[in-house]
């Protein structure tokens, strides 16, 4: 980024959003509470998806402090809950439709990261537990620090992961390992995370931010239109039969060739 690149910033509910040219950086900014999440956090995160304009090419997810996040704010588990918010205890007494709407709203904070045309990259250090782990999983790529302690511990509370994290988890590590991780609630370290495909790569804590930035800059070297066509093509390859994937490759390439003929490099 050049010195002339404009930057805008906003911060609310423990989430800071900064825009620098084609890169949007989302920072979990409540380290005093270990970046624990509340419904207010989810509402803020969900809104970012609609705020990111079509010219945003990269979204970087980072967190302040030694831990990426402790997961759900523990106050949500008590009857008193978080002031002004619905606790899980009160939620349990509601109708199925009410609970469904609540969870659907929470999930919207997690689903847009992979559905966005932009490439999303998480940089995860220290503890990433429960909801925080699922937020990291929501991104296209997860870089981790060597001190990573990743865990999905919902079953220890008599619950299941419900923030859209099971879909990417199974696709990254397979059913058996996903069952192991979720069912036991054990911690996954950086070595295992990279070896199993949960994470892209591991880095010293002090080098994590620069590694994330370097990867973002590498993506910016490719034409925007090509990457926007590539992302859904690769995402769908997991579920498509081979002949359908080949057909989608042809269709995507025809569009790219037509754009190139018309002089649309879209860098």
Domain residue limits, the chain: 7-220, 224-261
In the prediction, which pLDDT does 262 show? 83
Question: Is residue 111 predicted with pLDDT exceeding 80?
Answer: yes
Residue 238: exposure state from Cβ atoms within 10 A (0-12, 13-18, ≥19): exposed
Residue 147 has pLDDT above 60, yes or no: yes
Strand-pair category, 119-124 with 201-203: unpaired
Cβ atoms of residues 44 and 9 within 8 Å = no
In 3D space, the residue among 27, 93, 88 whose CA is nearest the CA of residue 63 turns out to be 27
Does 118 have pLDDT greater than 50?
A: yes
Neighbouring-strand partners of residue 37:
72
The 3-state DSSP class for residue 170 equals: helix
State the Cα torsion 267-110-73-192 to the nearest 10°. Answer: -80
**Residue range 157-184, pLDDT digits in tens:** 999 999 999 999 999 999 999 999 999 9
Residues making up the chain, counted from first to last: 267
pTM summary value: 0.93
CATH of span 7-220: 3.90.226.10
265 SS3 class:
coil
**Looking at residues 93-118, what average pLDDT do you find?**
96
| pLDDT for position 264 | 61
Mean pLDDT of the 221-226 span = 93
């Amino acid at each position: 980024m050049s010195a002339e690149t404009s930057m805008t910033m906003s911060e609310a509910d423990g989430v800071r959003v900064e825009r620098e040219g084609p890169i949007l950086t989302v920072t979990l900014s409540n380290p005093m509470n270990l970046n624990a999440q509340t419904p207010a956090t989810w509402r803020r995160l969900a809104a970012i998806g609609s705020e990111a304009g079509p010219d945003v090419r990269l979204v970087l997810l980072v967190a302040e402090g030694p831990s990426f996040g402790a997961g759900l704010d523990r106050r949500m588990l008590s009857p008193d809950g978080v002031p002004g918010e619905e606790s899980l205890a009160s939620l349990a007494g509601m109708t199925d439709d009410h609970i469904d709407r609540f969870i659907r709203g929470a999930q919207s904070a997690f689903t847009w990261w992979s559905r966005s045309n932009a490439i999303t990259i998480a940089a995860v250090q220290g503890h990433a537990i429960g909801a925080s782990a699922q937020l990291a999983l929501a991104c296209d790529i997860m870089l981790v620090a060597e001190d990573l302690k990743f865990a999905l511990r919902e079953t220890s509370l008599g619950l299941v992961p419900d923030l859209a994290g099971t879909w990417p988890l199974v696709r990254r590590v397979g059913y058996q390992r996903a069952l192991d991780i979720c069912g036991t609630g054990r911690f996954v370290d950086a070595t295992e995370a990279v070896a199993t495909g949960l994470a892209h790569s591991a880095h010293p804590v002090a080098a994590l931010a620069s590694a994330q930035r370097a990867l973002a800059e590498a993506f910016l070297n490719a034409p925007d239109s090509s990457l926007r066509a590539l992302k859904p093509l690769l995402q769908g390859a997991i579920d498509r039969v081979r002949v359908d994937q080949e057909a989608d490759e042809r269709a995507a390439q025809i569009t790219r060739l037509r754009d190139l003929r018309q002089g649309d490099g879209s860098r």
